[in-house]
Structure formats: structure tokens, C-alpha cells
């Protein structure tokens, strides 16, 4: 089978619009999409309906600053990353859905959507995310009066490191959502768009934010609720995937802008502004090889931080006679550093263990750091920016207790090798670290950073990854007519 999609493989403009102008990165993305196209053609050439195939891409993200702040209504600074999933999909001809990972070691998920119910036949890696997407989407569509989802044939492949802390799980949820809604004729359906936007308004979103499409903004927050299980306006939630997180991952993945960082606030989502990394500097991301997974035990550790934040809110409400829902709602009349001290002083009196007092202290210190760091980027004060991200890392290690030794080792060695600053990021308990370096030193720095890390942690030699991370575009979906040839 040959399709007009093959033209995309030769179209540098397509890849540059997503990933920038680095020829090595573009070639890597071209190879990734070529594998997906080849596998889809071989596997499903005679198993699809209609003459249209749907192309989806969903990137990863780097949380530059904002450790565990989004779900308490705080701010984060985000970079939409160059790692991604590509997927090709089309309506199924036999009434069975196949979601095939082109990496044969990761398997495929097979199920039927029949009479509004999901019937699982086979589960590959990530099947729990696919199950959640189908279940919630099916329920929400039925209540909104839309026809049921169609079964699909899809092949996908990603280069996001599993458990790397760069939001591969959210990228997978979004990929599944876009595969199903595009193949069912929903993602560009005007009625569907109106439902998502109207429920975004009911969820508290401020529409017509500068430079944002109302549908994409609403969609980013709606899909975030597939993971935390919350209602989105009148679109009812369920148990989600079990993590009590916020919306930053989905914001970066859906709303990402090439060459720009997103400075956002949450609950509900608001884009405060976009900022740039000054010319002459690079963000380098090192994946430690230690997975930051949402397994049962890891999920409990992750959710402990969410629980500590909620406990701090409850305690502060009792002390102040208030009924605030989020940490960010307290002491808004004070300057950022004053809020930090006021919260710590109050909670030290009632927190015997210090856990939720420290959690609240970290939250407000992190917000203070974020605002100062954004100002540094705008004023090109990169040495001070580096000092601030080092401070953020130290706060996370001390108060969140989510910095794994491997990630801490990466942070320390990056600074010894001359980075302006470095920090672990994401949910923690494994994952990745990013460093800011002068662009002219990037190649030498990566080689030295890799060597220093693997000398200390040789068990990760086959897993660790070190890459330059330009700010890339957000998710994209488009449809292409098929040209069939033997």
C-alpha cells in the first residue's frame, strides 16, 4: 500500500513546522514516521474502511520549573519537547480495534467497542491508558447525544523514554484520544467542538486568551481530566488512571509553540505568557534510566505529595477560618516571599511530622522561584536563572523527597561540568534532569555529562539518554486520502 503520506516523508517543511531546523532531529523524526507508515501498510492494507487515513503526532514535555504546583493552582514553566508519538489510523473494516505499537516488544491492544461497551481482547503496554480513554469518551459522548466511537486500526511508535519523567504517559493518552476521535469524525466536528468549549466555560476556563484557540485550550484541560478522573463541566469523570495530578502535561502537549516556552497557571488553565530561551543557550535533558513509573507503589508515592498538599489546605483553612480550595488561594495580599514565611509559620504549629508544612513551604518557594526565573529569561540573566533552578532542585530533594540518587547525581555532575544550572523535574522518584549550557559547549558537555554519569551508574548504560531539547510545536492531527497500489 502506498499513500500520499509518503510525500510527507520527503517534506522538510512538515518536520520543521513541528521540530525546528536541526537536520539530525528532522532525520530521526522522518525515520520514526517511516516505520509507522511501513508497518501500517503491511498490517492493515486490506483491513480499513474508506479512503482516508489519519495522522497524529503528540510530543513530550519538560517541566522547567513548577514541581508539583499545577494541581494546587500554581504556575509552571514548560517546554514542549522533541520526543513524540506518531500514529496512523483509519476506521476498522471488521469491527475490531487494533492499537499496534510498531515496537514488537511492546505488543498491541485489541478490543471491541460494541453497543456502547468496551470488550478487551488483548492488552499491550499502555493498555490501561487506552482503556481509560475509550471508557470516558464513550460515556461522555453518549450523555452528549453523539454516536458511539468507531473501531479503528492504528499503528503508533514513539521515542519518548518510558518512565523518563517527560510525560510519555500523557502523550500516550492524547495519542489514543486523537486516534479514536479523528477516525470517528469527531475531532474537527463543529458540534463536538462546541461541547468541549461550552464545558470548558462551565469548568471555569477564561476564553479568548491572547494567542490561544478556545477549542485547543478546552481540549487540553478536558483530556487532563482523563487522568485525574475529575468532571469537566457536565462531562462526568470516573476513577481516571489513578494519579491525582494537574493539567501541565496536557497543556504543553496540546498548546506547545515552536521556539517558545509556556508560562501557565492552572485550576483552571491560563496561559500567562510565552517566553524565549535567549540565543546562545541550550537545554540538555538527561534521562537517568531509572523509571519514574505510575506503578502501584510509585503512584502511592506520587499521590502522597498531592495528599500532603490537601492536608496543608485543610489545616490553613482551620487556622484562618477560610474555605479555600487550593494552596494558591492563601495570603494573596502578600508578596511571594512573605507568603512562604506566613504559611510555614502557621503550619509548623499544627504539623507534628512537618510533612504537610514542608510541602506547603516548597509550593510557595517554588512559585517565587518561577516568577524570578521568568524575569531572568526575559532579561537574559542566564547565570541567575541557573542559580534558581539549582535552588528548585534542592527544595524538591528536601521537602518533596522525590529526587532519586541517579537524578541527584546528574544534577551535581552537570554543575561540576560547567552548566549554568540543572534540576530534576516532573513527578520524581526517577526520571530525568535538565541542564542549561552555552550552546557553543553543548556537544562537548553532553559527552562529558554522559561519561560522568555512566562512570557512577554503569547499570544504566543501555538505558540513559542525553539530548538537546529545542522547544517544539504541540500535538497535530490531519487526514490524508489514500492512494492504493499493490
Residues 229 and 303 placed together within one structural domain of the fold? no
Question: Are 138 and 235 found together in one domain?
Answer: yes
Cβ neighbours of residue 473 under 8 Å, at least 6 residues apart?
Answer: 17, 18, 19, 59, 80, 256, 257, 258
The CATH number of whichever domain residue 455 belongs to comes to 3.30.70.890
Q: Where are the alpha helices (DSSP H) in 98-238?
A: 127-144, 168-183, 190-202, 214-228
Residues in the chain with pLDDT < 70? 1-4, 239-246, 293-299, 302, 351-354, 482-486
**Residue 178 and residue 35 share a domain:** yes
Are residues 12 and 157 located together in one domain of the fold? Answer: yes
CATH number at residue 66: 3.30.230.10
Give the domain extent around 68.
Answer: 2-273+472-483
DSSP string, 251-298: HHHHH--TT-EEEEETTTTEEEEEE-PPTTEEEEEEE-SS-----HHH
pLDDT at 484: 43
Question: Is the same domain home to 83 and 113?
Answer: yes
Please report the pLDDT score of residue 363 as a whole number: 96
Q: What is the DSSP letter of 161?
A: P
User: What local confidence, expressed as pLDDT, does residue 2 receive?
Assistant: 56
Provide the pLDDT for residue 486.
Answer: 34
- Looking at the structure, tell me whether residues 177 and 323 fall in a common domain: no
Same domain, 197 and 304: no
Do 205 and 230 share a domain, yes or no? Answer: yes
What per-residue confidence (pLDDT) applies to 115? 85
**Same domain, yes or no, for 318 and 283?**
yes
Task: Give the pLDDT confidence score for residue 351 in this predicted structure.
Answer: 66
Same-domain status, 267 and 296:
no
Residues 188 and 137 in one domain: yes
What is d(CA 84, CA 88) in angstroms, rounded to the nearest whole number?
Answer: 14
Quote the number of domains for the chain: 2
The pLDDT value given to residue 485: 38
Per the CB < 8 A criterion, the answer to whether 362 and 400 are in contact is yes
Statement to judge: residues 147 and 179 lie in one domain:
yes
Q: What is the pLDDT of residue 124?
A: 96
Amino acid at each position: 500500500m502506498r499513500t500520499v503520506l509518503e510525500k510527507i516523508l520527503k517534506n522538510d517543511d512538515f518536520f520543521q513546522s513541528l521540530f525546528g531546523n536541526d537536520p539530525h532531529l528532522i532525520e530521526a523524526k522522518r525515520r520514526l514516521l517511516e516505520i509507522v507508515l511501513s508497518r501500517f501498510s503491511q498490517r492493515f492494507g486490506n483491513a480499513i474502511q474508506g479512503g482516508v487515513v489519519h495522522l497524529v503526532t503528540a510530543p513530550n514535555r519538560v517541566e522547567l520549573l513548577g514541581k508539583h504546583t499545577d494541581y494546587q493552582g500554581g504556575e509552571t514553566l514548560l517546554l514542549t519537547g522533541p520526543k513524540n508519538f506518531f500514529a496512523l489510523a483509519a476506521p476498522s473494516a471488521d469491527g475490531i480495534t487494533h492499537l499496534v505499537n510498531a515496537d514488537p516488544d511492546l505488543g498491541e491492544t485489541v478490543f471491541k467497542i460494541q453497543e456502547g461497551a468496551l470488550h478487551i481482547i488483548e492488552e499491550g503496554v499502555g493498555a490501561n491508558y487506552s482503556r481509560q480513554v475509550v471508557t470516558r469518551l464513550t460515556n461522555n459522548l453518549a450523555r452528549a447525544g453523539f454516536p458511539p466511537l468507531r473501531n479503528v486500526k492504528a499503528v503508533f511508535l514513539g521515542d519518548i523514554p518510558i518512565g523518563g519523567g517527560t510525560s510519555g504517559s500523557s502523550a500516550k493518552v492524547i495519542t489514543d484520544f486523537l486516534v479514536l476521535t479523528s477516525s470517528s469524525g469527531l475531532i474537527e466536528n463543529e458540534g463536538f467542538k462546541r461541547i468541549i468549549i461550552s464545558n470548558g466555560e462551565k469548568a471555569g476556563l477564561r476564553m479568548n486568551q491572547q494567542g490561544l484557540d478556545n477549542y485547543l485550550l478546552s481540549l487540553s484541560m478536558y483530556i487532563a481530566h482523563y487522568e485525574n478522573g475529575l468532571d469537566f463541566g457536565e462531562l462526568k469523570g470516573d476513577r481516571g488512571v489513578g494519579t491525582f495530578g494537574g493539567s501541565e502535561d496536557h497543556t504543553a502537549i496540546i498548546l506547545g509553540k515552536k521556539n517558545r516556552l509556556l508560562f501557565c497557571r492552572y485550576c483552571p488553565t491560563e496561559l500567562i505568557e510565552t517566553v524565549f530561551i535567549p540565543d546562545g543557550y541550550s537545554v540538555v535533558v538527561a534521562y537517568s534510566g531509572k523509571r519514574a513509573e505510575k506503578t502501584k507503589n510509585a503512584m502511592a508515592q506520587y499521590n502522597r505529595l498531592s495528599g500532603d498538599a490537601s492536608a496543608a489546605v485543610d489545616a490553613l483553612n482551620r487556622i484562618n477560618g477560610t474555605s479555600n480550595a487550593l494552596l494558591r488561594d492563601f495570603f494573596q495580599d502578600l508578596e511571594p516571599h512573605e507568603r512562604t514565611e506566613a504559611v510555614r509559620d502557621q503550619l509548623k504549629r499544627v504539623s507534628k511530622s512537618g510533612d504537610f508544612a514542608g510541602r506547603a513551604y516548597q509550593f510557595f518557594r517554588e512559585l517565587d522561584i518561577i516568577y524570578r526565573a521568568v524575569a531572568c529569561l526575559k532579561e537574559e540573566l542566564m547565570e541567575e536563572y541557573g542559580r534558581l533552578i539549582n535552588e528548585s532542585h534542592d527544595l524538591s530533594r528536601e521537602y518533596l523527597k522525590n529526587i532519586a540518587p541517579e537524578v541527584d547525581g546528574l544534577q551535581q555532575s552537570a554543575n561540576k561540568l560547567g552548566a549554568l544550572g540543572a534540576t530534576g523535574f516532573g513527578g520524581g522518584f526517577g526520571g530525568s534532569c535538565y541542564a542549561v549550557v552555552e550552546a557553543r559547549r553543548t556537544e562537548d558537555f553532553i559527552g562529558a555529562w554522559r561519561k560522568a554519569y555512566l562512570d557512577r551508574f554503569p547499570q544504566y548504560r543501555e538505558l540513559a539518554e542525553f539530548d538537546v531539547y529545542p522547544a517544539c510545536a504541540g500535538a497535530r492531527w490531519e487526514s490524508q486520502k489514500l492512494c492504493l497500489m499493490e
